[in-house]
Structure 1
Amino acid sequence: MSSTRDGTNREEEGSRHQSHKSGMVVSRKAVMMALLLFLILVAVVLGIVGAVIEGLLYLLVIGVVVFVCALAYTALRFRRGGSRHD
């Protein structure tokens, strides 16, 4: 078991990052942020389509639900604080 300069194990270091074919290392936090932004974008698009097109009001409701879920997830992540390592 080898350690990095900051004292963490290499196995832990690997579990926090995803490696791509291009050699780029993307942190789990960045992936979760991208997913969150994508969900908010989907919610906005569904809300606009549901509000504009007659008969598709249910899309507006789905958009609002997705948006509220994304906000709740964000609030829980920020509430925990930055002390947790992903």
Structure 2
Amino acid sequence: MTMPPAVSVAEAMEIRPNEPLVGSGGMDLHFRIYESFGDQVHLDGAGYQVRRAGSRMRAVEIGLPFRSRGATVAAMLRAVIDRCPLTLISVT
């Protein structure tokens, strides 16, 4: 079994237009999560790219308006990257 080639974080976080997307809920909630960490989201005709904030947040609290496994995982992984305490709240 051959392993796929390694990619950078920037490449892994970029969606290309002709590739299938997982889920049908859209990316707005994911973008809000990244922005909660101070990251910048750039959208254009080719897709989107997330640029990590230059400084770390001391702690992040995010209210999720509905259940989203993908958004929850994105928030948890983003918190791990910065070793940032994270609180997720259901606001439904």
TM-score interval w.r.t. the shorter chain? under 0.3
TM (norm. structure 2) is 0.23
Name the structure, 1 or 2, with higher relative contact order (CA <8 Å, separation 6+): 2
- Structure 1 or 2, whichever has the larger Rg, is 1
From the two aligned structures, give the one with the greater helix fraction: 1
TM (norm. structure 1) is 0.24
From the two aligned structures, give the one with the greater strand fraction: 2
